[in-house]
Amino acid sequence: MSDFEQKVRETLANPQNQGEMEDADSVGTVGSPDCGDMLRMWLKFTEKDGKKVIDKASFQSFGCQTAIAVASMATEMLKGKTMEEAKALNAEELSGDLGALPPMKIHCGQLVEGALQSALNPEEEKAVAEETSTVPTLIQSIQASSGKPAGSIKIIKLEDDTE
């Protein structure tokens, strides 16, 4: 077993912050029709030293184990981060101790990044989605990493059906 698989297995033995957050301030959901997986992230904010910071984050994944492991790492890492700090995190950083994701699993980390960005920018995402019907940064990065031609992969923004 590779080092990466071992770390994923360890993380999945005790995943952190899994499940719906009842009192969340924001929620973001993305789905990848390419693999059929979907990830939703909830964020709760608080004030610290006059700044808005993430108090806690949780997730639900209807997807692969790698996405769950990355989301577990990411939701722990997000605690105490300002909006700007959280927005600047990419999929690789969010993977934390898991290290670099294998090529076939890069989009799993990007699913987590997409859900986070969606939760951080609910209005912007909506505006972009209305304008272009896609979420460009995520889809572009997935296309770039997959080597597939543009148009063969779609990321869809899923409606929040929890309300």
Q: What is the CA angle 85-132-61, rounded to 5?
A: 55
Give residue 5's region: left, alpha or beta (phi > 0; psi -120 to 50). alpha
Residue 31 within binding range of ligand FES, rule CB under 6 A: no
Residue 108 within binding range of ligand FES, rule CB under 6 A: yes
Q: How far is CA 132 from CA 118, 126, 127, 139, in A?
A: 15, 10, 9, 12
The catalytically annotated residue of 35, 128, 153, 158 is: 35
Residue 115 within binding range of ligand FES, rule CB under 6 A: no
Region binding ligand FES by CB under 6 A among candidate stretches 45-53, 62-70, 72-80, 142-150? 62-70
Show the beta-strand stretches assigned E in 49-124: 51-61
User: Helix or strand or coil: residue 22?
Assistant: coil
Annotated catalytic residue 64: no
Work out which of 7, 40, 56, 107 binds ligand FES, going by CB under 6 A.
107
**Interface with ligand FES in residues 117-156 (CB under 6 A):** none
Residue 63 within binding range of ligand FES, rule CB under 6 A: yes
**Closest approach of ligand FES to the CB of residue 136, in Å:** 19
Contact 142, 136 (CB under 8 A): no
- How far from each other are the two terminal CA atoms of the chain, in whole angstroms? 42
Which has the closest alpha carbon to 128: 155, 90, 162? 155
- Nearer CB in complex with ligand FES: 11/66: 66
Residue 91 within binding range of ligand FES, rule CB under 6 A: no
Region binding ligand FES by CB under 6 A among candidate stretches 48-56, 103-111, 117-125, 140-148? 103-111
- Interface residues with ligand FES (CB under 6 A)? 32, 35, 37, 63-64, 66-67, 107-108, 111
The residues that are catalytic are 35, 108
